[in-house]
Structure 1
Amino acid sequence: MVTAIAYLYPWDVVGDPAAAERIAALGVDAVALAAAYHSVRAATPFHPEHRVVDAHHAALYLPVRDAAWSGSRLAPATPAWMSRPDSFLAARDALRAVGLPVHAWTVLTHNTRLGRTHPDLAVRNAFGDPYPYALCPASAEVRSYCTTLVREVVALGDPDGLVLEACGPLGLGHGGHHEKTEGADWDASMDRLLSWCFCAACLARYEAAGLDPSRLRHQVRQAVDGADLAPALMQTLRTIRTTLTADLRREVLAAAIGPLP
């Protein structure tokens, strides 16, 4: 049974011949290696060639096959900051060579590059403000992107396991670079209100649940400004959101290992 996992990026291992042995010496049972990851600026204090990696957009650290993404508006990008398009494989092989199982750390709906390019697929709050870092899985296009991404990671990366991140809709709190909202002093309940999505696909889900989307938008906006939101309505919204997350998880796992019972 896995009890300790080291989370790594391909750049932690690629180009550093001592990295795999150094990680193994920590006594970890396995490694979660980023296969598809969002933008990040990362420190690499032990690497012989660099100290900071600026991964300035979300990317797939495996080859991006045109055939897999043909006809889709959403497709992952190749990381220009890496010297090869299959850096996940290079790092995986080095880690396996020292006896470490490698799980593919895969980020699904957190993708600012795609959210900015396709704002109609991003989470949007009751005021109409988009959260471009957050693709909304209420959209069939987003769910298809997630399942294809997982399928490609499994097929090309041949990992020993999967670690899924952002497997559901992100809200206000996750944020992007240079976060400037903390000074507003929003508490957890306000964060929750500003995280409810009002994209077109979510509006259709609210209607299917018997809610009036226009009235709901108005109620949430008033609640953000201090009005009370009925507990029963809050519970309905939570149910819609958790069901959406469960549906996405079921679809991506089916893509990875086959249909679930």
Structure 2
Amino acid sequence: MDKNYVKSSIEGLKSPSSSRVQESLLKIRSKITINDNGIKLFRECGGLDYLLPHLRKPNERILDITLSILGNCCLEEESSLLVGKLNSYGPLVAILKTVCRDSIVGRACRLIGNLAQKNINAEALHNHGAVTALVTLIENRDKNTSYPTLTMSVRAIRQLWMVIDKREEMLSLNAVRCITILLTTECESAGIIKTAAATKASDGLRKSQEELITGILKCLGYFTTHVTASCAEQLQGDGRGYQCLVALTKTYESLSLKCLMNLCYLSPC
């Protein structure tokens, strides 16, 4: 890849013109950060230093593309560490708290999940309130919240759970209960568990809903390795968490049984 082309595209990120910045971002996403070599070259040319400030800009189109590029870049270890060092945590959490556009929120969740694969980033995200923001996002979801965004938020929480010293804090924030209740809600809407309020037959699971349930079960699989009474209690959710896990053994046998087997190590269960 031509290094001069990369540097020229990065120069466009410094422009006071929103249209010029957007044009440069599109070039970077479609022609530069498309593979490991491109991401590495973009980082080595200083691209991340000029990309991060756009997380603080009010232009939603620019913000959307910036998050997309950063999400891709943070699949590369050195870029992920550098993005953390460039103080990205606060702006990311602020996006979750203040932005309504679903695609932006989803990309922010994806980026948080990618960053959190490195323990140093995960710890910093905890300290900046990422768990609270993610739990609030899930609890306050509405018809405009897409399944892919929920899936990315659950994945981010799963990655943040890997910081062992923060697990009790996550329990105090009801992170485990929040995810379990989300599972119950989805199982109920799909007819996997019955509800007295049901008025019509379910049409079954959509692909995006299947992906969300798979993501939740993966998350619960990690939760259930933390065998404490408080964690087991939160895994009951609204009282039907275990019922959901049993019902899901029919269609998600491996993931559901892993959770149930882990729970068997707890005598109260």
Q: TM-score, normalised by structure 2?
A: 0.27
Which protein is richer in strand relative to its size?
A: 1
Which protein is richer in helix relative to its size?
A: 2
